[in-house]
Chains A and B, each alone.
Chain A
Amino acid sequence: MRDAVVPPVLVLEAGRTERHYWRDLWRYRELLYFLARRDIAVRYKQTFFGIAWAVVRPLATMLVFTLVFGRIAKLPSDGVPYSLLVFSGMLPWFFFASALGDTSGSLVANSNLLSKVYFPRLIVPISTVVVPLVDLAVGLVLLVAMMVVLGYPPSFRLLALPGFILLAFGAALGLGLWFAAMNVKYRDFQFVVPFILMFGLYASPVGFSTKVIPSQWRLLYSLNPMVGVIEGFRWAVLGKSFAPPAEGLLLSAALIVLLLATGVWFFRRTERSFADVI
């Protein structure tokens, strides 16, 4: 680091956007890694069952949903085991929900860092979204096991999953950036976000197939960005009959990109005052 003959001049002024922000973000990638590692290491510390919670939680929820939607409400499943239908929807949703929930509170949770050291603040929400990927990975192993047991051998379609996971990642980060930044000033959002997530669980096709939605509403339904992601997951797991309509998927993807872009924009606009108001 000391090899530079003429050290670069750093100028600090009011309202000055930092020219090297993205380069700085890259330079601090190791911080991102260590923050994510910290959150992963701490996640199941001092719990008796440890990482087993990543198995137990989705399985238990799957049982309840299968009972409620499949057995009691008798929603259609197109001949597919209802449990598999539910589980393939739950994985992306749970990832999204826990990523969004954690990200929204991430700046406040790391307020000691924000008020004591400089780094591109985007590091904090990004590192937080990474953490629930661990639970998702455990869930994916379970999913494959279930597919084998229930007679739906994994196909090449599973290779498309990373793409859908990326979409869910973008959706959680995009929304999370908005909420995280707003939560710094108005802690109201720590109450708003759980409410949105609770509502979203039933507004998204987690416990049921999108086929129960009348076709004229399908496109409108895709305005919920998680609809495209969940449909994509189902298609990858259950096969052609669950293929998402292309325009719905595109709409979801476009919305996610928009969320992400505006989220970054809003975050960058407000981050300079984080340390003053947190």
Chain B
Amino acid sequence: MNQAISVSGLSKRYRLHHVSRPSYQSLREVVSESMRNLVRRGFQTTGNQASREYDEEFWALKDVGFQVDAGDRVGIIGRNGAGKSTLLKILSRITEPTEGRVEIRGRVSSLLEVGTGFHPELTGRENIFLNGTVLGMSSREIRRKFDEIVAFAEIERFLDTPVKRYSSGMYVRLAFAVAAHLEPDILVIDEVLAVGDAQFQKKCLGKMKEVTGEGRTVLFVSHNMTTVTSLCNRCVLLERGRIKAIGNAAEVTKLYFGSDAEGRGSEIRFESLDKSPGDSFARLRGARLVDPGGRTIDFIRLDQPIGVEMTYEVLRPGLRQIPNFHVFAQGQYAFVSSPATNDEKYPGLYRSTMWIPARLLNEGLYSIGLALTSVNPVVVHFNYQDALYFSVLDDLHDPNRNDYTHGVPGVVRPRLDWSLERIREVAKA
């Protein structure tokens, strides 16, 4: 198999220019400076001596290396700031690397945005040619595919209308239609598929599959793991500018959910009682996420239940402590849950488990805060936010999806009862 792209030792450094106070300013400096400013104000001096300009180096990519075979469809995933966009920009020749080397065999087209170069004053027809040449097509090539592009975008009637009069849907459809008719050997795409309405998204995804099926090499950046796994056969996981994992798409996308850089995940433990959250009545000792078999897990499929298990130690009798768990979906409060029973607790080690049923939560990243509270009188023994993280993975074959292949919005995704009946027959005209 011949290589299409080979990347070795690739690094990219950005210099961030700061004009601000250095963060290591001491209180003494702050005080003396404000005194100085007070004195100065009368003399109308300008500038603040303590605010210095300084450059900070930042490695957006560090020592990245991988190979892509011709015909491979490679997903590039990672959290915000992991270096995905920088990598694409280097491969698209928009910016040059600071170190390292890239070898590319074949004609590259990159699609970091749909509709690059679109001008609102120009008509749809004019913009097809402009955008096409911007993306590297020849005008002969565009003329040859012109009808196809127009048909794909479904804008025949508005071909000679300035695109500023287009609805946002039409605009995006036209932009994508041009891009979808590129025929490079290597296609580099940033997250541009999530455009338009559901109907059109499906069409785009279909077109992408068709394009990638023609033996073309594709590099694809996305946040949507569902799309990545359905489009790509291989995957590169970036974390803070370095490659964390590379390999089979299904396996690497699983790692993505475990790659939370903050270190917290599916389990926490407090070995020392003194340092654990809590008060003189009770302290948190640990927590983890479990599957029904009792194994620690950090992600589940949509159709699986997940257990949140907390161990805590009651140190003094006399109160009725109630565990309560706070579930957040991407930072938004989803719900709070606590058990229905509440007896007086005697000293000892306790374990409570909350079961989140299958098909309650939608696909996404969730965090859980652990709290222990007594009522009458109200005492919050501890309230430990963002203790655990887990991800719910979507199931593309969920029958309720009806072959819809994109993200379904919402925090919850219950499977509800539906009824469907024809209430009247309409006679054929």
Contact = CB atoms under 8 A, between A and B. Distances in A.
Interface string A52-95: 00000000000000000000000000000000000000000000
A35 B138 CA distance: 14
A11 B103 contact: yes
Contact-residue bracket for chain A: 35 or more
A1 to B, nearest CB: 6
B94 A115 contact: yes
16 contacts: A8-B105, A9-B105, A10-B104, A12-B91, A14-B98, A33-B133, A34-B130, A38-B119, A38-B122, A116-B112, A117-B92, A117-B94, A117-B134, A272-B96, A273-B95, A273-B96
A187 to B, nearest CB: 14
Contacts of A8: 105
Contacts of B92: 117-118
A113 B92 CA distance: 12
Interface string B96-130: 11111111111110101100110101100010011
B119 A42 contact: yes
Interface string A7-35: 11111111110000000000010110111
B126 A12 contact: no
Contacts of A30: 133, 138-139
Interface in B52-104: 89-104
Given A41-B122, A116-B94, A34 B101 contact: no
Given A9-B103, A34-B130, A118-B110, A42 B121 contact: yes
Contacts, number: 106
A124 B50 CA distance: 42
A48 to B, nearest CB: 15
Interface residue SS majority, chain A: mixed
B185 A276 contact: no
A7 B100 CA distance: 22
Contacts of B134: 31, 34, 113, 117, 119
Interface in B133-149: 133-136, 138-139
B94 A13 contact: no
A114 interface: yes
B97 A12 contact: yes
Nearest to B93: A118
A1 B102 contact: no
B94 A118 contact: yes
B346 interface: no
Given A31-B134, A276-B14, A1 B107 contact: yes
Contacts of A240: none
A275 B139 contact: no
A34 B129 contact: yes
Contacts of B139: 30, 34
A27 to B, nearest CB: 9
A2 B185 contact: yes
Contacts of A9: 103-105
Interface of A: 1-2, 7-16, 28, 30-31, 33-35, 37-38, 41-42, 45-46, 112-119, 272-273, 275-276
Contacts of B117: 112-113, 117
A14 B110 contact: no
User: Max chain B CB contacts within 10 Å: which of A9, A118, A119?
Assistant: A118
B241 to A, nearest CB: 16
Contact of B104 (A12, A42, A117): A12
Contacts of A15: 96
A13 B97 CA distance: 6
B98 A38 contact: no
Contacts of B89: 115, 275
Nearest to B129: A34
Nearest to B139: A30
A120 to B, nearest CB: 10
Contacts of A37: 126, 130
A243 B96 CA distance: 50
Given A12-B90, A34-B133, A41 B106 contact: no
A42 B122 contact: yes
Nearest to A114: B94
A117 B112 contact: yes
A116 B92 CA distance: 8
A169 to B, nearest CB: 23
Nearest to B135: A117
A41 B133 contact: no
Nearest to A10: B104
Contacts of B112: 116-117
Contacts of A34: 129-130, 133-134, 139
A7 B185 contact: yes
A113 B121 contact: no
B400 to A, nearest CB: 37
A35 B95 CA distance: 22
A110 to B, nearest CB: 8
B133 A31 contact: yes
User: Max chain B CB contacts within 10 Å: which of A7, A11, A28, A33?
Assistant: A7
A11 B7 CA distance: 10
B41 to A, nearest CB: 29
10 closest cross-chain pairs (CB), A and B: A118-B93, A12-B102, A7-B106, A10-B104, A116-B116, A31-B133, A275-B95, A275-B94, A45-B121, A7-B105
A201 to B, nearest CB: 30
A11 B102 contact: yes
Contacts of A272: 95-96
A218 to B, nearest CB: 46
Contacts of A28: 133, 136
A118 B93 CA distance: 6
A1 B95 CA distance: 25
B116 A10 contact: no
A129 B183 CA distance: 32
A273 B97 CA distance: 10
A189 B95 CA distance: 23
A24 to B, nearest CB: 10
A8 B186 CA distance: 13
A161 B197 CA distance: 56
Given A2-B183, A12-B104, A117-B135, 20 more contacts: A10-B93, A10-B105, A10-B108, A12-B91, A12-B103, A13-B100, A14-B97, A14-B98, A34-B129, A38-B122, A38-B130, A41-B121, A41-B126, A112-B116, A113-B134, A117-B117, A117-B134, A118-B110, A119-B134, A276-B14
